[in-house]
Amino acid sequence: MAEKTGKENALEIAQILEDGKAENVRVLDVSQLNSWTDYFVIATIHSSAHWQGLAKQVKDYTKANDMMIHVANQKTSDGDDWNLIDIGNVVVHLMSETAREFYDLEKLWHAGTVLK
């Protein structure tokens, strides 16, 4: 079986997040804009339990696809959660609605290509 591309991985992770009831899931190709990752998967989550469940599903996906998580961080700013899963060529951002609106990654990375 051929190894999946970063794009295929990003889109499959996005589907996992949608299946897990994350909202406003977006995939951005940022490969031409930086040297440290190729794809952002951004999703809105509703609670700490919600992001923990989704993070577990993403981690299960990485294990099943022989991928390695480089860093798993949680950023808290004034109570707004931003949870990051760094899989190398794919970076997953699980964000509360408030944090998503405040940081507006899609606007910040507007030069990226929206894949989903």
Which tens digits make up the pLDDT trace of 57-84? 999 999 999 988 885 555 545 444 888 8
Give the predicted TM-score (pTM) of the model: 0.88
Buried b (16+ CB within 10 A) or exposed e, 66-100: ebeeeeeeeeeeeebbbbebbbbbbbbbbbbeebb
Which tens digits make up the pLDDT trace of 38-59? 999 999 999 888 988 999 999 9
What does the block give as tokens for 24? 């406003």
Which tens digits make up the pLDDT trace of 6-43? 999 999 999 999 999 999 999 999 999 988 899 999 99
Residue whose token pair is 């990485």: 62
